[in-house]
Structure formats: structure tokens, C-alpha cells
Amino acid sequence: MRCTLWVVTLVVLALITTSPTNAFIDCNDVIGRILECSRFVMNQTNTLSKECCDGVEDLARVSEAASQMDRQLICDCFWRLARFWPFDSDLVRDLPDMCPLKSDFAIDPDADCTQP
């Protein structure tokens, strides 16, 4: 099971392109922050780890401080992950509420990333 997770992660990393060099964050940063959530969003456990919530909270802080371009990149990264990573989109969407965060940060792998 653990080997499968690493293979999926490596495939996702290989398929996702990084952002332009002037961006504040890239997909590797996003993946690194949410990797601890992978077992939960893939329905392999019913428990959110503290490390998962810490990563989501950190991503929310980065998103709030980021430019519109970087927020679009974060959105696009989740959209791309949704195409290659077998996770439950509803669980991903619920992460900010389940952790819970003190912000309006939202994760939606089905969002239209071109909209502000």
C-alpha cells in the first residue's frame, strides 16, 4: 500500500509542470504541503493527522499572502492532481472545514481556475 502511494506521488510529480519562475509557489510546494493528507483523501484512513491539517493551514496562509497568479496556480495544481491522483474530491473539499481553519481558504479540485 505504501509503495503504491509513493508510485502515485512520483507519477503525479512527473506529470505536473512547475510554475513560471516569478511565481511564489509551485505544484511541488502544494503537493509537499498536502502529502500528509493523502491517506485520508484516498479513503485509506478515517482520521486526519495533525501533519495534514498543519499542511492545509500552511497552504491557506500561503494562498492568502499570494498574488492572484499564485492562487490560480494553486487551484490549477489541485485540478491537475485530481486527474492523476485517485482521491475523493468531496474529502479534499472538506479538508479546510475538517481541520478547521481560521480562514476562508477553499480547496476544490473541480474549480474553474481561470475565475478569480
Here the CATH number for the domain that contains residue 35 is 1.10.110
Confidence at 20, pLDDT banded by 50, 70, 90: very low
Residue 114, domain member (yes or no): no
Residue 49, domain member (yes or no): yes
Residue 103 C-alpha cell reads as 480562514
Mean pLDDT (the chain, rounded): 79
Residue 54, domain member (yes or no): yes
What percentage of residues in the chain have a pLDDT greater than 70? 78
Domain span at 66 = 2-16+25-98
d(Cα 15, Cα 18) in Å, to the nearest integer?
Answer: 10
Count, in order, helices (H) and strands (E) of the chain. 6, 0
Q: What string of DSSP letters covers 62-108?
A: HHHHS-HHHHHHHHHHHHHHHHHS---HHHHHHHHHHTT-SS-----
Question: Structurally, how many domains does the chain consist of?
Answer: 1
As a dihedral over the C-alpha atoms of residue 4, residue 85, residue 92, residue 96, rounded to 10 degrees, the angle is 80
pTM of the predicted model as reported, rounded to 2 decimal places: 0.73
